């Protein structure tokens, strides 16, 4: 296991909820935000891939004459036993992502290629800080752009709180705007009798907390079930599906969260990346399964959903001596959901000739990730250009919101 990799345990625990400060219980007290003017009920899910995704292996520019030589043994090809399906005449998708390929054909998924945050060094920690904080440099704030976006939504009649998935709230959702957390941690379970006795105890001493605890238990019950129990041998890829399944159940509820953020670790593929089969294929298969779980779990809500998948930076264009890739710059962002204007690879392609590589080693970024996220926040949640440039992504006026990402 890489030094930066950790597996997220998928089991949901009632005791974990009770010991976690009854985070779901706060749901009843979250502020409400205005319904979209056109009657939509939008959902937004942000998925952070920690460790730096190889964008050239995920969506391969097989039409670029310099790609195959640079990516060597792990380069994708549109033919052969592990053929990568073509998205258009130039780009092919990793074969481990058939669900994303289907969404793409159905125009519910899109790719933004040669994308990057403003960060240009190669530290995971600083890169993730910039990705999630929304600032141009690391270490400047302790709040995230998604929390600041949540705080700018107009107050109204509908719950629009945010769900932070994981043992700790991702930086992208930290800040003053209220959020609730769900940690699918593998903790010993308290039985139903213990939980009910706690509710009874609080009903006499703190009725408000008792009511909140009851609601929290009910929400936890809605997220769990036999289909959420990890099967023997569940790996990191399987855990991605289970986490997405639980989050989708909560977000599908009429009074559930409309915004969520979660992070998947382990994308630092310095060795044995594996091309169409191998380590990256397993990770991409887990991500692909998670997207499918969001689609099926949200049901009719999928129509008004956008999923944004982003990573801190890309990986080198040239394969290294251990059949992997090292820290790079340009990469891909993936968009999925019924609200996405899909079926497109959006890219100002820089080319892979030696003179076109960033610092002679990386895919050169031509699109600012902030511009893509701004386009989603503006057209999906209704945030203004001024709020996006001044509050959500401070000092980012030069990164204009991308148009036409949302139907």
180-198 pLDDT tens trace? 888 875 433 444 555 555 5
Q: Which of 98-107, 224-233, 320-329 has the lowest mean pLDDT?
A: 224-233
Q: What are phi and psi of 114, to 5 degrees?
A: 60, 45
Across the chain, mean pLDDT equals: 84
Residue indicated by tokens 């074969």: 95
46-98 pLDDT tens trace? 999 999 999 999 999 999 999 999 999 999 999 988 899 999 999 999 999 99
Rounded to two decimals, what is the model's pTM?
0.83
What pLDDT does 220 receive? 52
Q: CA 106, CA 99: separation in Å to the nearest integer?
A: 11
State the DSSP H helix or E strand holding residue 47, giving kind and residue range, or none if neither. Answer: strand 43-49
Burial class (CB in 10 A: 0-12, 13-18, 19+), 314: buried
What pLDDT does 33 receive? 61
pLDDT above 70 covers a percentage of the chain that reads 76
268-290 pLDDT tens trace? 999 999 878 889 999 999 999 99
Q: Tell me, what DSSP letter sits at residue 82?
A: T
Q: What are phi and psi of 7, to 5 degrees?
A: -95, 135
Q: CA 330, CA 345: separation in Å to the nearest integer?
A: 15
Domains of the chain, earliest start first: 14-392 (3.40.720)
In the predicted model, what is the mean pLDDT of residues 24-50? Answer: 72
């Amino acid at each position: 296991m890489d030094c930066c990799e950790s597996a997220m345990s998928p089991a949901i625990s009632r005791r974990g909820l009770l010991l976690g400060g009854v985070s779901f219980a706060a749901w009843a007290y979250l502020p409400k935000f205005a319904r979209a003017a056109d009657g939509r009920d939008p959902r937004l899910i942000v998925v952070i891939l920690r460790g730096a995704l190889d964008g050239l292996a995920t969506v391969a520019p097989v039409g670029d004459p310099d790609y195959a030589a640079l990516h060597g043994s792990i380069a994708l090809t549109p033919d052969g036993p592990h053929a990568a399906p073509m998205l258009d005449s130039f780009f092919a998708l990793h074969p481990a992502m058939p669900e994303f390929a289907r969404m793409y054909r159905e125009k519910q998924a899109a790719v933004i290629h040669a994308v990057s945050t403003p960060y240009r060094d190669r530290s995971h920690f600083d890169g993730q800080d910039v990705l999630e904080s929304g600032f141009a440099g690391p270490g400047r704030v302790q709040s995230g752009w998604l929390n600041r976006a949540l705080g700018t939504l107009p107050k109204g009649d509908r719950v629009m709180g945010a769900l932070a998935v994981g043992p700790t709230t991702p930086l992208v959702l930290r800040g003053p705007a209220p959020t609730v957390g769900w940690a699918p941690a593998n903790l010993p379970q308290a039985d139903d009798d213990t939980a009910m006795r706690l509710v009874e105890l609080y009903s006499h001493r703190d009725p408000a907390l008792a009511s909140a605890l009851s609601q929290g238990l009910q929400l936890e019950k809605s997220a769990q079930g036999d289909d959420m129990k990890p099967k023997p041998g569940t790996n990191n890829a399987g855990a991605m599906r289970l986490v997405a399944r639980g989050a989708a159940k909560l977000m599908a509820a009429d009074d559930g969260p409309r915004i969520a953020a979660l992070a998947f670790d382990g994308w630092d593929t310095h060795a044995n990346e594996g091309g169409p089969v191998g380590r990256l294929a397993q990770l991409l298969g887990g991500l692909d399964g998670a997207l499918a779980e969001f689609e099926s779990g949200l049901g009719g809500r999928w129509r008004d959903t956008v999923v944004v998948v982003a990573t801190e930076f890309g990986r080198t264009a040239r394969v290294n001596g251990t059949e992997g890739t090292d820290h790079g710059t340009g990469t891909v962002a993936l968009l999925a959901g019924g609200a996405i204007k899909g079926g497109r690879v959006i890219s100002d392609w820089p080319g892979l000739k030696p003179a076109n590589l960033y610092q002679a080693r990386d895919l050169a970024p031509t699109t600012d990730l902030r511009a893509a996220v701004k386009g989603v926040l503006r057209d999906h949640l209704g945030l203004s250009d001024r709020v996006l440039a001044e509050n959500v992504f401070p000092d980012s006026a030069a990164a204009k919101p991308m148009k036409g990402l949302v139907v």
